[in-house]
């Protein structure tokens, strides 16, 4: 239930986004179905996007030759059962927010999360491999991150640094422990990986955590590096099923930090009420950077109001410069 206070904050968010709208370019809607938490990969076969479970599909896939027009691969599941022992015994184990990268040997790696057998109310993160981008992906036996006492781990995203080192960033899902407004930490962690991109090296390090301005959480991290040499992390704040959800960003000079959440007047980059070719956005977030850092995919409410008609996917071109992200 929204209190009078939260309604006022929402009104002010709506007002400031309307004031900013005329300076911003227009994101365009690319998938008018339920396709949340989109992740992008670019290959010789154009662009593929992967999304959270919907209907009977664990991991949805869409394709685009030109990044402008996208087609859902209807009925295609890139991550069908069976799952390894760390996952609950269910062919549909709640697979959220997959991300796909291509290793130097050509193998595709999917990072995904699923409900964990050691605590079936929490998600943990694993990896799966495939010789082809569309899968089907074969899960690795070992879990990659499984801090169930802190709420589990979700929203894994792969990143290859300029020196060739693979990293996985993910959210420790303290949100899964929240029973009241005493919000648990939701740190975004950085895990260094072996060259195989599936074996962790050492312990993960914390990059950012939720603060007052983020409401209950931060999540959905995606990292890229600008031509300015700055590391940019896109992330979402607030609950995904409310109009407060957004996409903001943090910057760093080194991948392990320290990271600083942007105080730029243009941050968050995306909030409810921002313009799009399909009308004002509702609950935008869950964004992923395109490999070249020049565009994003993100989701928002199909009906502009709530999740009842699912979350569709939008695209936007961006620029990264001087620590700022702007819509082109
Ligand atoms: C969701 O939004 C639609 C469209 O505004 C509205 O008709 C419906 O009642 C809302 N559902 C919930 C559960 O709030």
Distance, in Å, from the CA atom of 153 to the CA atom of 173, rounded to the nearest integer, reads: 5
Catalytic residue among 99, 140, 155, 219: 219
Question: What is the pLDDT of the chain when averaged over all its residues?
Answer: 93
Helices and strands: H and E segment counts in the chain: 1, 21
Ligand 1 center to residue 308 CA distance, Å?
A: 7
Catalytic residue among 37, 140, 214, 288: 37
* Residue whose CA lies nearest to ligand 1 atom number 11: 308
What per-residue confidence (pLDDT) applies to 14?
54
| All domains of the chain in start order, with CATH | 4-327 (2.115.10.20)
Q: What is the mean pLDDT of residues 294-298?
A: 98
What per-residue confidence (pLDDT) applies to 181?
81
Q: Write the pLDDT tens digit of every residue in 11-32.
A: 445 555 555 444 446 999 999 9
**Residues enclosing ligand 1, CB less than 6 A?**
303, 305-306, 308
* Residue whose CA lies nearest to ligand 1 atom number 1: 306
Residue 4 pLDDT exceeds 70: no
Task: Quickly state the pLDDT bin for 180 (edges 50, 70, 90).
Answer: confident
Residue 9 pLDDT exceeds 70: no
Q: Can you tell me which atom of ligand 1 is nearest the CA of 307?
A: 1
Contact partners, residue 23, CB within 8 Å, separation at least 6: none
Ligand 1 center to residue 145 CA distance, Å?
A: 36
Ligand 1 center to residue 278 CA distance, Å?
A: 18
Q: What is the mean pLDDT of residues 147-172?
A: 98
Residues in the chain: 328
Distance separating the N- and C-terminal Cα atoms of the chain: 36
Q: What is the mean pLDDT of residues 174-199?
A: 96
Contact partners, residue 302, CB within 8 Å, separation at least 6: 32, 33, 34, 309, 310, 311, 312
Residue 232 corresponds to which tokens in the numbers above?
A: 């940019």
* Catalytic site includes residue 203: no
Ligand 1 center to residue 302 CA distance, Å?
A: 11
Cβ contact 3:286 at 8 Å: no
Ligand 1 center to residue 74 CA distance, Å?
A: 26
* Catalytic site includes residue 37: yes
Q: What percent of the chain has pLDDT over 90?
A: 91
* Residue whose CA lies nearest to ligand 1 atom number 13: 308
* Residue whose CA lies nearest to ligand 1 atom number 3: 305
Ligand 1 center to residue 306 CA distance, Å?
A: 6
Q: Write the pLDDT tens digit of every residue in 216-266.
A: 999 999 999 999 999 999 999 999 999 999 999 999 999 999 999 999 999
Cβ contact 236:220 at 8 Å: yes
Q: Which letter does DSSP use for residue 148 in this model? A: G
Measured at the CA of 313, the angle between CA 267 and CA 127, to 5 degrees, comes to: 90
Q: Which of 279, 305, 307, 311 to mutate for ligand 1's pocket (most ligand atoms within 8 Å of CB)?
A: 305
Q: What is the pTM of this model?
A: 0.93
Distance, in Å, from the CA atom of 92 to the CA atom of 122, rounded to the nearest integer, reads: 15
Residue 152 pLDDT exceeds 70: yes
Cβ contact 269:247 at 8 Å: yes
Q: Which of 282, 283, 303, 304 to mutate for ligand 1's pocket (most ligand atoms within 8 Å of CB)?
A: 303
Q: Can you tell me which atom of ligand 1 is nearest the CA of 303?
A: 4
């Amino acid at each position: 239930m929204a209190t009078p206070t939260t309604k006022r904050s929402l009104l002010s968010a709506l007002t400031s986004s309307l004031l900013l709208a005329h300076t911003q370019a227009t994101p365009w809607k690319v998938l008018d179905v339920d396709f949340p938490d989109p992740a992008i990969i670019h290959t010789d076969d154009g662009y593929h996007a992967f999304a959270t479970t919907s209907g009977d599909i664990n991991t949805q896939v869409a394709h685009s030759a030109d990044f402008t027009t996208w087609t859902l691969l209807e009925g295609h599941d890139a991550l069908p059962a069976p799952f390894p022992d760390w996952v609950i015994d269910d062919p549909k184990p709640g697979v959220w927010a997959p991300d796909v990268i291509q290793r130097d040997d050509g193998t595709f790696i999917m990072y995904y999360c699923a409900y964990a057998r050691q605590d079936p109310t929490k998600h943990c993160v694993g990896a799966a491999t495939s010789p082809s981008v569309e899968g089907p992906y074969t899960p690795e036996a070992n879990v990659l991150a499984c801090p169930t006492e802190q709420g589990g781990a979700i929203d894994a995203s792969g990143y290859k640094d300029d020196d060739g080192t693979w990293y996985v960033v993910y959210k420790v899902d303290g949100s899964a422990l929240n029973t009241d407004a005493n919000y648990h930490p939701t740190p975004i962690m950085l895990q260094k990986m072996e060259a195989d991109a599936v074996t962790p090296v050492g312990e993960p390090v914390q990059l950012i955590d939720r603060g007052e301005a983020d409401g209950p959480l931060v999540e959905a991290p995606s990292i890229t590096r600008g031509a300015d040499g700055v590391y940019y992390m896109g992330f979402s704040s607030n609950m995904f099923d409310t109009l407060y959800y957004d996409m903001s960003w943090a910057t760093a000079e080194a991948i392990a930090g320290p990271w600083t959440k942007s105080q730029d007047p243009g941050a968050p980059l995306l909030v409810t009420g921002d313009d799009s070719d399909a009308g004002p956005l509702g609950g935008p977030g869950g964004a992923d950077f395109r490999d070249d850092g020049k565009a994003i995919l993100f989701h928002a409410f199909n009906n502009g109001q709530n999740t009842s008609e699912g979350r569709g996917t939008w695209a936007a071109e961006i620029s990264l410069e001087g620590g700022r992200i702007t819509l082109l």
